[in-house]
Structure 1
């Protein structure tokens, strides 16, 4: 009897082909279906979103909301009433402000806007590279990289990315590098800054350090590791991305979309404090899984 029941149960699993978390996903779909009208009504309204975003950095009067949105009081007031009835905003002493629920909602909206904006602004960069290498917790905050530029090597400037790297480290007091490749030219530039007293940390993979120790460039690695203002950390498994982040700037490089070849000809660069903070956290994320290299 038990064998028969088990056979029937197994055949049902094979028939449905449902993954173990199917119930959870179905529940989320059901939840969306129940509140779909509210979500669509909110995002269809340009004014409602603009009002929430305007209040994100502090209280505003009706006059200020008119100036920010470019709309009349007659157009604004019905939207304000709708947001008030949804407990997203309130008024006190003739000034509007977000409620606790409204603050959380507005932060989520800002995250969506920034994420969509940065992926659209640099769509070619993300489409042509292995962006899956960026950990999910950092990818969801990709909007922090909005104020950035794509630096490319071109036919008339084949060292554009490299020279940008030189300018970047020359203007820095601290340098943190995560490098999936070995480049004598980059190493020489970093050594120059170390000799000038700049603090440098380098994260490299176990396989790469093994290759370097067998190469003619071992003396440079020896010098990197011997300076008091320089440290090398080793990762068991190197992520498929490159990162240079300083106290002022960030440069992010990715593998090509095949996930096999590192693209040395293209970097995302930014001096925006939000982008720099994002890069510093990403570096620390990988450093937490590394061990210091000693000769």
Structure 2
């Protein structure tokens, strides 16, 4: 790996070949490198049994495939860290388990939405759009927002199934805030398996994952929730990462009953 990452040309060659066999012309076109630079590095890669050639086309060997998979993962991780440095810095990551922190590269193809205090509706509107477009919703909420009760009621009425993990404080606060009509709706939704709720003592991450999207927010190190930043992604790897984060915390939560 050290040999590969020490050269941008070698890294480019392996990334290109990870998509399938390529001719010299195709490699030159996709990397923007000269034929001499490519030939020199391909010769060295072949000596190290990382690439091979059949006719006019270059391939990855089995060893080359192993190295390239790890190279791509390293590139994604580096991208996710540098691209979203504002989100990771000065924020509490304690509720993201180590095995998912190692795969933070799955979030590389995301967008960080930022808003000033006077335009928090920017994040709220994006979040509402995500919920309205979803077939199922899984969420973790250690923060209370009364307008979310109305949003979730609307999506459930449309047939969207919802799974929520709440802290005990948020569960209590929610029950104290709902009207009698909303309480009846909640009871009916639970009995019909349209909504499932779990309770967890404490958690320092707020996120929602659906069949299409991931929305991720974090707490600052001082314990306050950062309303000004929200990571949004419709990438398959990011959604899969979010589903695993939800299942991790669900396994530590207890079912909620009225």
For the residue of structure 1 that corresponds to 2:91, the secondary structure is coil
- Residue matched to 2:106: 144
Cα deviation, residue 211, structure 1: 4.7
Residues 224 and 232, structure 1, Cα contact 8 Å, conserved in 2: no
**Is 1:231 matched with 2:189?**
no
Partner of residue 37 from structure 2, selected from 75, 96, 100: 75
Q: Which residue of 2 aligns with 1:280?
A: 243
Structure of higher CA gyration radius = 1
Measure, in 1, the Cα distance between the counterparts of 2:88 and 2:27: 36
- Which runs of no fewer than 5 residues in structure 1 stay unpaired? 1-37
For 1:112, the equivalent position in structure 2 comes to: 74
Query: Residue 267 of structure 1 aligns with which residue?
Result: 230
Correspondence for 1:33: none
Aligned twin of 2:160: 198
Residues 243, 251 of structure 1: 8 Å contact kept: yes
CA contact (8 A) 1:180 1:239 kept: yes
Identify the structure with the greater strand proportion. 2
The two structures have a TM-score, normalised by structure 2, of: 0.89
SS in 2 for 1:87: coil
Verify: 1:245 aligned to 2:209, yes or no: yes
Cα displacement (A) at 1:73: 2.2
Matches of 1:216 and 1:54 in 2, distance apart?
56
Change beyond 3 A, Cα 1:133–1:290? closer
Secondary structure of the residue aligned to 1:187 is helix
- Deviation string for 1:27-62 (max 9, x for gaps)? xxxxxxxxxxx72x4322111111111111211122
Q: CA deviation at 1:274?
A: 2.2
SS of equivalent to 1:175: strand
Instruction: Name the TM-score, length of structure 1 as normaliser.
Output: 0.79
